[in-house]
Amino acid sequence: MSDPAAGTFVLDGEEVAFLPGQTVMQAALAAGHYVPHLCYHPEFKPHGSCKVCTLKVDGRWVTSCTHPAQPGMQVESRSEEIGEKRRTLVQMLFVEGNHFCPTCEKSGDCKLQAVAYDVGMMTPRFDHFYPDRPVDASHPDILLDFNRCILCELCVRASAEVDGKGVFALSGRGITKHLVVNSESGRLADTDIALTDKALDVCPVGVILRKRVGFAVPIGARRYDREPAADQALRDAPRPLDRQPKGAE
């Protein structure tokens, strides 16, 4: 038997029930309402780094992945104003790194690309930064392309909290903030990372890549080619047994 609902709030005119401890994002996804996001992952405590899930609660801007659900809230997620804010955030992420989808091995499997489609991004709009961060190909099985990092911290948290290794970290502040490898040399080859580590599978873009398997799945048959980000997020959202989507076991 599932936990009783702690209350309800109104999301874009529809009533949404939530459980004790749920955030606006978690409750919305569990109820079948997609909120675009990048750094949120259902297996980790949300921390609101990318801001793409920003919406309005009682007229105030909040990140839905960190804002606790409360009874009676009026939540606005799908207005033209909010959509434009999200597009701007995604556009800035594209130009702050080197995200050239037609030539990227992650194309079709990239969540940044999929969310850009979802929010209606048609152009990068801003001038590209073209960062020059050296690629780390020192490991025999894993390649790191730091130029694509969006600072979501998911690999940092997965390596520390799940793998128990702490292979990755973020260094610097503001515009100088960047992903680093936690080894004396700074090289991935000098860590104990393994192909089975959780950290390899949580990166939403093309930073962490397995070698010698590039394009094994052809473009057009990849994850987000088969199903858009919204549908996958709703399917993967944790929910009580009595609130499973139709057709779920």
DSSP notation for 36-59: --SS--TTS----SS-TTEEEETT
Residue span(s) of the chain under CATH 3.30.70.20 come to 87-226
CA–CA dist 148, 47 (Å, integer): 20
13 near 28, Cβ under 8 Å?
no
**Is it true that domain 7-78 has CATH number 3.30.420.40?**
no
Residues of the chain with CATH 3.10.20.740: 7-78
Q: Does residue 54 contact residue 89 with C-beta atoms inside 8 Å?
A: yes
Give the integer Cα–Cα distance in Å for 43 and 25.
14
Q: Which of 132, 163, 141, 149 has its CA nearest to residue 203?
A: 149
- The identity of residue 8, as a single letter, is T
Whose structure tokens read 């659900």?
Answer: 69
Higher-pLDDT residue of 242, 211: 211
Task: Taking residues 154-165, report their average pLDDT.
Answer: 97
Give the largest CA-CA distance in the chain.
54
pLDDT at 241: 46
Query: Quick check: helix, strand or coil at residue 201?
Result: helix
Q: CA 99: distance to chain centroid?
A: 15
Class of domain 87-226: alpha beta
Nearest in space to 60 (alpha carbons), one of 47, 46, 73, 43: 73
Q: Are 199 and 157 in contact (CB under 8 A)?
A: no
State how beta strands 14-18 and 7-11 pair.
antiparallel
How many CB atoms are located within 10 Å of the residue 212 CB?
8
Q: CA-to-CA distance for 92 and 126, rounded, in angstroms?
A: 7
- Calculate the CA dihedral of residues 81, 49, 90, 147 and round it to 10 degrees: 170
pLDDT at 248: 42
Task: For residues 24-49, give the mean pLDDT.
Answer: 95
Q: How far apart are CA 248 and CA 136, in angstroms?
A: 42
Question: Is pLDDT of 225 > 90?
Answer: yes
pLDDT at residue 239, rounded to an integer: 65
Give the mean model confidence (pLDDT) for residues 91-119: 95
Q: What is the pTM of this model?
A: 0.90
Is 178 a residue whose pLDDT tops 80? yes
